[in-house]
Amino acid sequence: MKKVRILIIGFGVIGSGVARVISEKREFIRSKYGIDFKLVGIGEHNGCIVCPNGIDPMRAYELKRESTLNRHPCWKDKMNSIDLIKEANADIVIEATPTNINSGEPGLSHMMTAFNAKKHVVTSNKGPPAVAFQNLRKTAEKNGVQFRFEGSVGGAMPVLNLVRDTLQANEILGIEGILNGTCNYILTRMSTEGLPYEHVLSEAQELGIAEADPTYDVEGIDTACKLVILANAIFGMNVSYKDVDVTGITQITPEALKLASDDGYVIKLIGEIQDKNRPMVAPRLVPKGHPLAVGGTLNVISLRTDLAGEITVTGKGAGAVETSSSILSDLIGICEA
Amino acid sequence: MDLELKDMPGQLVLALQPISEFGGNIVSVIHHRDKKTPRGLIPVQITFEIDEGKLEGLINRMKSDGVTIVQVGEDRLLERVVVILIGHIIHSDIRDTIDRIDSTGYAEVKDLAVSMPGVDQHSAARMVINATGKKEMKKAIQLLRNVAHEKNLLLIEPI
């Protein structure tokens, strides 16, 4: 049995969700892959849990749910996550702090510290790979450790690992898809119910599908960040958010959706990179019945390749359990590399 | 294109080969063996797509190969694209928007459906544009992008 010691930095919805899934999947992963993940530290903004003998991940998840993480016997009040990453005897750091697309912090510092401490990094945090991709990649390489971020693009939907592990012999010529579930939900509801944008947005906010400040999603910023990650990781480009042409969905009206529908189209917010050209996010007409015409909160991505032709994957783009699927895939991938 | 071919082996290939050589894409070939002309020739109807500029060269080549061309019917506008516009479409002079496409000579607005929800609200329009070829369509769409930008309209293009 291979013992792999992990740290989780950022114990919010995603971080604690990963802990829960690690606990629930422990036996499955042990028997199928011969790997035993041992959680040895948790980093939060107000302190850390440090426990070289292992933290029960389910217990930590439950404490977090009751907002009593600081009652854990190994809680170290006000301890800094950077110190935890430097000092803890761990193999892999799961970085799950909130996304900041301007500076990438605090995630960026956590990741750089981890690489310099010879620890692999797995993340679903879009900020750091969107603002400092090449720097992160080079630092990881220099230290002989891996940087995996499948969960940062499309939640559960496999894209980066699909390209790296399964489409190895293919050149990827183009990518297009729906990378934001909130926008997809809003446009789908507006289209099927003929409701105005503001009404559907407030409905989405009530359901927890859209944030109180929806700017990040509806203005296409989130989609653009994911495109930046794909451009850098898959096409080897060196682009950042400012290199993307972005138009959001706030101007879409029910009348426009109806006119599109009458001619056999739906309108979707599509992120696109073709032949290493400037990445683009914009509402586009998609023929009904086309593989990209998925509804609800689903994400979908279509890869244009030289050998395999078009490959399309669709799946849930958000949610703690779904994102954990990608994070665990990366964890196991690192252990098996 | 309607042709008349001699009733002997190899004549159809003789007529079709130049089309591919000139970069044309054959859509259909109808060979009317049962409708021989009084001169004993076989009528053949060929439909193909080709760049407009190459058509004349192709016709000359076919004639010099001894193929009888009865008539050439051009359906000039081959490409069709649907776009949606959102914004103050009417007040930003929709006639001018259409004219700018139509005046290119290679593209035209074939159909327009407009929805106006209220006086101060944004209208939406569905526009069908036809163009003579793929390249021409690209140019027409680029032109429309510029017009939309200038008139502060949101242009939604197909994937």
Per CB-CB distance under 8 Å, the chain B contacts of A301 are none
Q: How far apart are CA A169 and CA B68, in angstroms?
A: 50
B113–chain A Cβ distance below 8 A for any pair: yes
Q: How far apart are CA A292 and CA A259, in angstroms?
A: 19
Is the domain of A150 the same as that of A171?
Answer: no
Is the domain of A152 the same as that of A20?
Answer: yes
CA angle at residue A291 from A285 to A296, to 5 degrees?
75
pLDDT band at A317 (very low <50, low <70, confident <90, very high): confident
Is the domain of A44 the same as that of A93?
Answer: yes
- Is A226 part of the annotated catalytic residue set? yes
Q: How far apart are CA A205 and CA A212, in angstroms?
A: 6
Q: How far apart are CA B6 and CA A156, in angstroms?
A: 64
Question: Residue A212: which CATH number?
Answer: 3.30.360.10
The pLDDT of residue B75 is above 70: no
Domain interval for residue A37: 2-156+320-336
What sign does the dihedral A79-A84-A87-A90 (CA atoms) show? positive
Is the domain of A138 the same as that of A247?
Answer: no
Is the domain of A257 the same as that of A195?
Answer: yes
The pLDDT of residue A219 is above 80: yes
* Single-letter amino acid code for the residue at A29: I
Span B131-154, mean pLDDT? 92
In a domain, A238, yes or no: yes
Nearest to B148 by CA among B89, B79, B102, B106: B89
pLDDT digit string, tens, across residues A179-212: 999 999 999 999 999 999 999 999 999 988 888 8
**Average model confidence (pLDDT) across chain B:** 88
The pLDDT of residue B76 is above 80: no
What is the Cα Rg of chain B in Å?
A: 22
Is the domain of A258 the same as that of A123?
Answer: no
Å from B159 to nearest chain A CA? 6
- For residue B77, the model assigns a pLDDT of 60
Whether the link from the prior residue into A106 is cis, omega within 30° of 0, is yes
Catalytic pick among A226, A242, A288, A316: A226
Domain count, chain A: 2
Is the domain of A80 the same as that of A148?
Answer: yes
Is the domain of A14 the same as that of A67?
Answer: yes
- For residue A155, the model assigns a pLDDT of 84
Question: Residue A66: which CATH number?
Answer: 3.40.50.720
Q: How far apart are CA A14 and CA A151, in angstroms?
A: 10
The pLDDT of residue B73 is above 80: no
Contact B157 A263 (CB under 8 A): no
Contact B117 A262 (CB under 8 A): no
The pLDDT of residue B6 is above 90: no
The pLDDT of residue A159 is above 90: yes
Is the domain of A301 the same as that of A235?
Answer: yes
Q: How far apart are CA B43 and CA A48, in angstroms?
A: 87
Say yes or no: ipTM exceeds 0.95.
no
Candidates A253, A259, A285; nearest CB to B159 = A285
In a domain, A161, yes or no: no
What sign does the dihedral A237-A239-A245-A251 (CA atoms) show? positive
User: Are residues A113 and A289 in contact, defined by beta-carbon separation less than 8 angstroms?
Assistant: no
- For residue B74, the model assigns a pLDDT of 66
User: Which domains, and CATH codes, for chain B?
Assistant: 2-71 (3.30.70.260), 79-156 (3.30.70.260)
CA dist B99 → A54, A260, A327, B87 (Å): 73, 23, 54, 18
Would you report the helix, strand and coil content of chain A in percent, each value rounded to 5?
A: 45, 25, 35
Q: Which two tokens stand for residue B115?
A: 């929805």
- For residue B119, the model assigns a pLDDT of 79
Span B24-39, mean pLDDT? 83
Contact A267 B84 (CB under 8 A): yes
Span A227-241, mean pLDDT? 93
- For residue B40, the model assigns a pLDDT of 84
Select the highest-mean-pLDDT range: A81-90, A233-242, B99-108.
A81-90
SS3 per residue for chain B: CEEEECCCCCHHHHHHHHHHHCCCEEEEEEECHHHCCCCCCEEEEEEEECCHHHHHHHHHHHHHCCCEEEECCCCCCCEEEEEEEEECCCCCCHHHHHHHHHCCCCEEEEEEEEECCCCCCCEEEEEEEEECCHHHHHHHHHHHHHHHHHCCCEEEEEC
Is the domain of A285 the same as that of A243?
Answer: yes
Lowest-pLDDT choice from A100-104, A136-140, B10-14: B10-14
Is the domain of A11 the same as that of A145?
Answer: yes
Å from B139 to nearest chain A CA? 18
Is the domain of A56 the same as that of A200?
Answer: no
